[in-house]
Amino acid sequence: AMGIGFAISEALAAQGASIVIADLKGGAAAAEKLRAKGHKAAHVDADVSSEDDTLRMAAAATDAFGGIDILVNNAAIYSTLSLKPFDQLTVADWRKMLDVNVIGQFLCCKAVLPTFKKQSSGRIISISSGVAFKGNPGMLHYVASTGAIVSMTRTLATELGEFGVLVNSVAPGFTLSDGVHKNPELANTVSGFSVRGRALKRDMVPADVVGAVSFFAGPHAAFITGQTLVVDGGAYYH
């Protein structure tokens, strides 16, 4: 309903997609913003770590628009992170992170699969992170979760190809999203470091992510699956 997720929703809506925004809060307002611009949009209040919620999300999308063509897995724990050495992380920290960032994506994929199989088509685009390839310190559980998404993308692509489902991932660099702005520790610590490490010396914003997602969702990516595209201004060449 905000940040990268809403930027992606706006971009896909502008290209003709009907959008269902799923979030813990803010979904109704986000969907209304899209409708005010003439787009087709609905919302579902959903916790992606809940199997019941993800099934309800898929059902709501089908009820609203007659099917599901694209799943964008964007929900994740990141902007609320406090940077910690790995030995200060707790088991509870790990379980919360994996429940949302990894199991949440698994549940969302599982929820839309019956529709994709029935249609013999579908696109899954999962948002990972460039840290999966760089090993940033102070966030071991988050880095591990993004690496899992890259691996899941490859395996799902292999499993779902026979059903005409394409599975790809976009791995953004550090992005100054709405949530990050609300976490000064994260924004102030990571932003300068990230910009210095890029070929393109500026902050990354949510709009920088949408082109890659639109590409994977569109007709020009019809024979591409199992791939991860890093979008980070040239910080990591993958």
Of 211, 173, 202, the residue nearest 8 (C-alpha): 211
CA dihedral in degrees (187, 45, 18, 12; nearest 10)?
A: 10
Backbone torsions φ then ψ of 17, nearest 5 degrees: -75, 145
Q: Which of 78, 142, 236, 237 is catalytic?
A: 142
Tokens of 180: 């990050």
Can 236 be counted among the known catalytic residues? no
Q: How far apart are CA 20 and CA 5, in angstroms?
A: 11
Measure CA 100 to chain center: 11
Closest CA to 149 of 180, 171, 164, 179: 171
Structure tokens at 51: 């199997």
Exposed, middle or buried, 33 (CB in 10 Å: 0-12/13-18/19+)? middle
- Catalytically active residues are 142
